[in-house]
Amino acid sequence: MRFLIILVSLLTLNFSNSQTSQENSVFIDKIYDEALSNGKSYEWLDYLSNQIGGRLSGSINYERSVKWGKEELNLLEIDSVWLQPVMVPKWVRGAPEYAHIETRPGNNISVPIVALGGSISTPSIGISANIVEVKSFKELRDIGRDSISGKIVFFNRPMDVTLINTFQAYSGSVNQRTQGAVQAAKLGAVGVIVRSMTTTLDNYPHTGSMYYEGLSISQRIPAAAISTNGAELLSSMLSLNPKIKFFFRQNSRNFPDVLNHTVIGEITGSEKPDEIIVVGGHLDSWDLGDGSHDDGAGIVQSMEVLRIFKSLDYIPKRTIRVVLFANEENGLRGGNKYSEVAKLKNEKHFFAIESDAGGFTPRGISFDTSDTEFKSLKKFEKYFNDYGVSFLQGGSGADIGPLKDGNIILAGLRPDPQRYFDYHHAASDTFDKINKRELELGAATMASIVYLMDNYKL
């Protein structure tokens, strides 16, 4: 029997090292067919979104999502599933926020706001003050302390709707949200209102992280996002009468760090078990919607990669690890911890891909690697021609970013970006905004590139 075993091993080895273009195409077709015919991502996301819902770090819902993720991965009968502990920030929104524009004493127009993640509360009676509109930190500094002190600063620079890549438009505006409070507090402002980061005009305020950086506790001021329609209204009213007052009240609070977990599952590699391929997204979300696009989609697509491999009886050569990262939104603690542990254990990560840009039709895979490596990878692009997916150089994903070490090839799934910021961090990020086929195509795209990378440079 030994002879036969050796022969079979040799044949298997030979096959695995010399996948032809034709074999790759056939297998990738099978991946897409499986995702579109028997996919489980949509059903999983239905549960995660509608039965669990928003799952902010440190919340009960986050704990429930960890339990769910672990159980579902166990059902896939992969080689191992475990939890990686990580201390995360705990921020709680508290009672619903309220705000109004006071056009004259007793005449108030309410506008929708939400506290920014990490923001302190207002005093329980709220804050009422004159309000100064600015479009940039430079404009804020030019106005200066004398005119800012004691007032609320209203950051109202819209996302640039003419940018086709909405993520680029987001990058161009989001510093108002993340650093606005620090910049305004330094000039004596008593609160900050930020125009929501979205390309639409609607009534949803969009939350997101903000930081106090070096500010002492006594210097900190509360910060909230206002809906874009609310921002337009406020701006109009200010242009009519710069002396109107703004009132807002919020009840948010930061608690000491708590223990959360990143969920990890893997299929051990059959040939190079020590070389790890990561496919992942982040399991936490903001608390307003149910986090279907950000990043429930990335979670179920990543899980689906392993399900597809199991279902097609594909035996990976390298170790394929699905990672459901904790605490991307307000801390990146899960991603940092994962990378820290990997270094401690001297793990070799060969490739990592993250899906954290929504569950829309996949249009590209972005690679963060050397020009030489990208040129070499570019030869795989042909396998995606029929699926409308192209390769580009750029970023990957926040959670896998800390793994960057000069060797690992990092990648990010790039879905169509037009609708993403309609829902991002808002109460409107819900399961009904997900299209089943689009979600499944994203999962198949991830599985296909993971398959190719599993067979790359063996």
For its own copies, which residue of 64, 141, 378, 436 counts as binding (CB under 8 A)? 436
Q: Transcribe 44-61 into DSSP letters.
A: HHHIIIIII----TTSHH
Count of positions on this chain that bind its own copies (CB under 8 A): 24
Q: Is 46 in the site for its own copies (CB under 8 A)?
A: no
Q: Applying CB under 8 A, does 33 fall inside the site for its own copies?
A: yes
Q: Cα–Cα distance between 5 and 11 in angstroms, integer?
A: 10
Nearest to 141 by CA among 197, 182, 194, 174: 182
Q: Tell me if 186 contacts its own copies by CB under 8 A.
A: no
Segment interacting with its own copies, rule: CB under 8 A, options 29-37, 54-62, 92-100, 251-259: 29-37
Active site residue 328: yes
Asked if residue 422 binds its own copies (CB under 8 A), the reply is: yes
CB of 365 to its own copies, least distance (A): 14
Strands 272-282, 191-195: pairing is unpaired
**Sheet harboring 362-368: ordered strands across?**
80-92, 253-267, 318-325, 272-282, 348-354, 409-415, 362-368, 390-393
E strand or H helix at 297: helix 297-311
- Decide if residue 312 touches its own copies (CB under 8 A): no
Does residue 386 bind its own copies (CB under 8 A)? yes
The minimum distance between CB 209 and its own copies, in angstroms, equals 25
Q: Rounded to the nearest 10 degrees, what angle do helices 297-311 and 60-75 cross at?
A: 10
Question: Amino acid letter at 116?
Answer: L
User: CA nearest 359: which of 410, 301, 400?
Assistant: 301
Please report whether residue 387 would count as binding its own copies according to CB under 8 A.
yes
Distance CA 366, CA 363 (A): 10
Q: Of 363, 383, 398, 454, which one interacts with its own copies (CB under 8 A)?
A: 363
Distance CA 332, CA 454 (A): 27
Q: Counting contacts by CB under 8 A, is residue 229 touching its own copies?
A: no
Q: What is the CA radius of gyration of the chain?
A: 24
Complex with its own copies: residue 122 or 199, whichever CB lies closer: 199
Does 454 help bind its own copies (rule: CB under 8 A)? Answer: no
- Told to check if 36 binds its own copies by CB under 8 A, we report yes
Interface pattern 139-178 for its own copies (x via CB under 8 A): ----------------------xx-x-x------------
Binding status of residue 375 toward its own copies by CB under 8 A:
no
Residue 3 tokens read as 């002879």
Q: Pinpoint the alpha helices (H) of 76-155.
A: 137-143, 145-148
- Please say which residue, 177 or 363, places its beta carbon nearer to its own copies: 363
Among the listed residues 328, 329, 354, 440, the single catalytic one is: 328
Residue 388 touching its own copies (CB under 8 A): yes
Dihedral through CA 118, CA 122, CA 124, CA 127, nearest 10? -160
- Using the contact rule CB under 8 A, the part of the chain among 92-100, 271-279, 395-403, 417-425 near its own copies is 417-425
Q: Which residues contact its own copies (rule: CB under 8 A)?
A: 32-33, 36-37, 161-162, 164, 166, 199-200, 361, 363, 386-388, 416, 418-419, 422, 435-438, 441
Q: Which residues are catalytic?
A: 328
